Amino acid sequence: GTVADLAVKATADAALDEVVRLPYVLHHRRVRPVPRVPAASALWDGHMAKADAPKVTVIVPTRNRLDLLRTCIDGLAHTDYPSMEVIVVDNGSDDPATLAYLAALDPARVRVLRDDGPFNFSRLNNRAAQLATGELLCLLNNDIEVLSGDWLGIMASQAMRPEVGAVGARLLYSDGRIQHAGVVLGICGGAAHAH
């Protein structure tokens, strides 16, 4: 039966005003629905003309992991946004393939900033932000795979709204489930990931 049927059966012998403790799982889903990637948003076309798009500086901290970084940088190359600069902050990579890849990046498209200090995500981003020439900053992890070329336009159009201070992305697991949908205030006394 349904979960409601199970609850009725479990409490059938209890008086109406009696609190019944049910220390067992009443129902467990046997089959997970097949996840699907949500439909793309149309915000980019509806909220901001490309001619009005502000310059965005995308900052990507990384250390080694060429497999991740290459996918991330390829996604940025296929991003449909009119004014974007990319700063990769290399935090002490020592893998020869990663170093060769970083050296081969076109400096007209991607600036590489070397930082061999201890890992500190905030410090790495702040150091790159000092060199940024964009009106907006996009802090992008090196393990992001771009699924749709309009992602930055959608985020920038939200960021330009006067009542918005920061925009969080919707990140998906490879099977389409939501991994992260931004950070919201008021969770656990502060801020935490939505969904």
Q: Which residues contact 95 (CB under 8 A, 6 or more apart)?
A: 64, 66
* Tokens standing for residue 46: 């509806």
Please give the pLDDT value at position 106. Answer: 94
Instruction: Identify the pLDDT of residue 58.
Output: 97
pLDDT in tens, 103-114: 999 999 999 999
Per-residue pLDDT, 47? 54
Pairing of strands 84-90, 56-62: parallel
| Residue-level pLDDT at 57 | 97
The pTM of the full predicted model, rounded to 2 decimals, is 0.74
Q: Bridge partners of 193?
A: 183
Q: What is the pLDDT of residue 49?
A: 67
Cα–Cα dist 119/150, whole Å: 31
Stretches in the chain below the pLDDT threshold 50: 42, 46
Integer Cα distance of 179 and 195 in angstroms: 8
DSSP string, 84-111: EEEEEEE-S---HHHHHHHHHS-TTTEE
Reduced to 3 states (helix: H, G, I; strand: E, B; else coil), residue 114 is strand
What residues have CB less than 8 Å from 172, skipping those under 6 apart?
A: 37, 38, 147, 178, 179
| pLDDT reported for residue 184 | 76
What pLDDT does 17 receive? Answer: 75
Beta bridge partners of 191: 185
Compute the distance between CA of residue 81 and CA of residue 76 in angstroms, rounded to an integer.
Answer: 9
